[in-house]
Structure 1
Amino acid sequence: MSINSFGHLFRLTTWGESHGPAIGCVVDGCPPGLTLDDAQVQRLLDLRRPGTSTMVSPRQEPDRVRILSGVYDGRTTGTPIAMMIDNVDARSADYPKDAPHRLGHADFTYDTKYGFRDPRGGGRASARETAMRVAGGSVARLVIPEVEITARVVEIGGEADEARWAAMLDQARAHSDSLGAVIECVATGVPAGWGAPVYAKLDAELAGACMGINAVKGVEIGEGFAAGRARGKESLDATRTSGIDGGISTGQPIVIRLAFKPTSSIGIGGRHDPCVGIRGAPVVEAMVALVLADQKLLHRGQCG
């Protein structure tokens, strides 16, 4: 089966393809009475939409969201919240049906699994789908007002100096190339006690959510791989401020770092990001918010 839903009690289901008529999502499990309108969702969607600068895809999608259900008089009703965004700038001619499989994309694997696929812009495998994760994440934030989540790009092409990024991207684009990126996300205000000790560890849930983002190839939580190179005393010092211990939050800030691979669409038709990680920060924030909202409800359900 195909799994298009995420979460346990707070659940996000997304639908739609890159060049279909629209993309959308359904958020289920949201508590009633929370203030929500289109503008709140739109503010976060505007942070990830394409066509905003020369450093991202030139596809011109306004990403105007419509809330179709689950909200009345500006407040959530406790019923499923459906949201939709129309695709208005699809250019399907860039993706002929008989085109060979593109390296680094899901063309081969989708064909192998389903025997049939939508080739336009990658179809369901396109990062266009992540717009609905951002929409769902905007609702999740309402469930966790005590938590602040901030993500930012900290490296592009292995370079941490922001002043060099624009020139590096221009050079990569001129050579029909692309660059990878690293994003760091910090969640502060997470109370102690969220998570579970064995099969639903908070760090495991966060890592799984982040690895499910398009183009993410590595996730570190807290000291991450540095722990494998540290001595015990150093590691214990880091553990005191890592934010998660035994799969359960400690009350300290939680720090996550994600590695985004370079865009695979090099020298082929279509409109693409020279560095897919640049628009990744709002998606990372959304996935972290979805996990934390779910974990808050799970904790409240078990422990009151």
Structure 2
Amino acid sequence: MPKSLKKIGVMTSGGDAPGMNAAIRSVVRACAFHKITCVGIYRGYQGLIEGDMEELNARSVKNIINRGGTFLKSARSKDFRTKEGRKKAYDHLVNNEIDALVLIGGDGTFTGGMIFNQEFGFPVIGIPGTIDNDIYGTNFTLGYDTALNTVVDAIDRIRDTASSHDRLFFIEVMGRDAGHIALNAGVGAGAEEILIPEENLGFDRLMESLKRSRKSGKTSSIVVVAEGDKTGENVFELAQKVESEMPFYDIRVTVLGHVQRGGTPTCFDRVLASRMGVKAVETLMDGQSNLMVGIKNDKINLTPLDKAVKGKTEINKELIRVSEIMTT
């Protein structure tokens, strides 16, 4: 362990995700195990600029592994986008004798960390926390599995109503640029059609699918729509367009929104967070920096932050084929 590494800061930034608290807990307890002081930074980069931080120990993070959200809070910071703001953040780190940072968040968080590292040579390690699962270099991000289970549970409940009233439901899920939630939840919940940004199926294809389902005897249907899909201007406009073509359907729209971000993290997310937190601390102890901790084929791995930010995740083509077969 480098002699200079005596104190590590940990923070969460950007949108919250289930499993962030478990990751904070892991970082704090890994530090305690290796006799390193851990400092919790509140409200992300904004809190860092304002010096809003306190030392944490193993007891500080008791009973949080099962809690959604982040007890360190999160915030967007316009100030950190300026050189002056980043200098204030750096001065607070120096004044508090913090030697390295663990950043829990998404690509925006990692971009800020990269710039900070380039300007001040300050060691940073990223842990991917976002329900969208859209970070390159890892098969799973923290919160994704929990969000999937939340969405599937919601769709199951909506299906009960759909089948009771012969309704067609359009259910919008998060995913501006990536359709991982929509595709996996749609297959898992047995949706009749799944619309994602990566595959522009088009309105005509959607209509063919719905008419085929109707002809086969289905009196109710579920269409899962990623918010970034462009089949319509938005999910409400799409629903109106379908209704004009199929007036015999009683059509409803449900936007799940931020309900997908909350809730108790699944066992998978808790274990993943624990593994990533330990790896983040021990990577810094090894003198490595500017990396993101990820998981591939159930093995913890490291990816340069610039690749994690610039790289593009790929949708599972095999799962798309499965979804097409399942909607027959």
Q: Smaller-chain TM-score range?
A: under 0.3
- Asked which structure has the greater CA Rg, the reply is 2
In the superposition, the TM-score normalised over structure 1's length comes to 0.25
In the superposition, the TM-score normalised over structure 2's length comes to 0.24
